[in-house]
């Protein structure tokens, strides 16, 4: 029986991509869950663009501190040696490419690595947040997302239909179906399929060019 990965499973798989010594920015949504699955035998520093280095796992219920939040305004914990600073310094770190890996959610990704994750036309948004700075500056971007939208339509597309956040920047995608590299010449290359997922399922769920 096929049991699709939920958002926690996607986050757990992405945590395997993090290497010792990395400085990592976690975007809003599924990416924030990655903090709970970082292997204990590696040293990783999590950065939040609202002004924090050294973010820890989510707090247990009853142990939350409302002053400690991530960019998505969720309560978090801090680790020994963590530091707080203003947005100017935070975005200075991002724009000067001090972040080794950025993990973001997305509404759409194109086969060329374009990403749309900040706005749906006609819907109110508070602002673009830090996503555009992150995708313009990061050397390594992994997207955590569902493979299809709520209407069953592919989110891995030949080209994005929503307003772009960044162009040719996504390197890897992890969905409930598998792990995919975005190739420089274009196309989604299957790296691995999750247990029980067939190639036909991926073909039917992928509108963009699929390589395997």
Question: Residues with catalytic annotation?
Answer: 49
Q: What are phi and psi of 81, to 5 degrees?
A: 90, 0
The SS3 of residue 131 is helix
The label of the residue with tokens 């989510």 reads: 58
Beta strands in 9-57 (DSSP E): 23-26, 45-48, 52-55
Contact 166, 114 (CB under 8 A): yes
Using CA atoms, how far apart are residues 5 and 128, in angstroms rounded to an integer?
A: 28
CB-facing half-sphere around the CA of 36: CA atoms within 13 A: 14
Nearest to 141 by CA among 17, 13, 7: 17
Q: Name the DSSP letter for residue 60.
A: P
CA distance 178 to 116: 20
């Amino acid at each position: 029986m096929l049991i699709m990965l939920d958002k926690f499973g996607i986050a757990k798989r992405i945590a395997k991509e993090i290497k010792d010594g990395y400085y990592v920015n976690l975007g809003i949504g599924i990416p924030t869950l990655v903090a709970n699955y970082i292997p204990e035998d590696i040293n990783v520093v999590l950065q939040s663009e609202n002004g924090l280095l050294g973010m820890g796992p989510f707090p247990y219920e009853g142990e939350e501190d409302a002053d400690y939040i991530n960019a998505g305004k969720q309560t978090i914990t801090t680790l020994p040696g963590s530091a707080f600073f203003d947005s100017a310094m935070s975005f200075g770190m991002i724009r000067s490419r001090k972040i080794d890996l950025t993990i973001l959610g997305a509404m759409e990704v194109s086969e060329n690595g374009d990403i749309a994750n900040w706005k749906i036309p006609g819907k109110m948004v508070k602002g673009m947040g830090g996503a555009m700075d992150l995708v313009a500056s990061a050397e390594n971007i992994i997207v955590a997302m569902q493979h299809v939208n709520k209407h069953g339509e592919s989110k891995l597309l030949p080209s994005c239909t929503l307003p772009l956040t960044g162009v040719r920047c996504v390197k890897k995608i992890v969905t409930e179906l598998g792990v995919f590299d975005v190739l420089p010449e274009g196309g989604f290359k299957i790296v691995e399929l999750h247990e029980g997922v067939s190639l036909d399922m991926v073909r039917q769920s992928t509108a963009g060019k699929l390589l395997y």
